[in-house]
Structures are given as C-alpha cells and as structure tokens.
C-alpha cells in the first residue's frame, strides 16, 4: 500500500484502493484492517470507516462464496 498511496493526492482516495486490497486477500474488511489502513495513510479511522460503509461492494462482515444481489 505504501507504493500505491503516492499515486493519490488525497489519502482518503487511497483508502478505497486499500480497502479493495484487504477485501481481495481476506474476503471482507475487519475492524483491525480499518485502523491499520488509517495508520498507514495518516488519516482518522473514522474516515476509512466512512468510505467502507459508503460503498456497497466493501463487505464489513464475512460473506458467503456466492453473493446474490436483487436489482
């Protein structure tokens, strides 16, 4: 993440990419990851949490292998 965060002017924009990386590796984003991302980017954990809860594609709880979405 340290390499990629320099591509973004605003650290909050980099938090989206960091959340995607964590979710790709673990399947969801746990509380500890929120604090770790905030620490690396130098922003409040509440900002990272706000981004994570805003986007429906970021899962804050474990999910199943297959996700069914209703349109």
Domain ranges of the chain: 4-54
Query: Per residue in 58-67, pLDDT tens?
Result: 998 888 777 7
H, E, C per residue of the chain: CCCHHHHCCCHHHHHHHHHHHHHHHHCCCCHHHHHHHHHHHCCCHHHHHHHHHHCCCCCCCCCCCCCCCCC
Query: Per residue in 27-46, pLDDT tens?
Result: 999 999 999 999 999 999 99
pLDDT at residue number 18: 94
What is the reported pTM?
0.80
Q: What six digits make up the tokens of 47?
A: 């900002």
Residue 5 burial (CB < 10 Å; 0-12/13-18/19+)?
A: middle
């Amino acid at each position: 993440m340290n390499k990629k965060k320099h591509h973004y002017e605003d650290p909050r924009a980099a938090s989206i990419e960091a959340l995607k990386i964590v979710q790709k590796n673990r399947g969801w984003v746990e509380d500890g990851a929120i604090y770790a991302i905030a620490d690396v980017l130098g922003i409040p954990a509440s900002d990272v949490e706000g981004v994570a809860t805003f986007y429906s594609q970021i899962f804050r709880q474990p999910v199943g292998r297959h996700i069914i979405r209703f349109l």
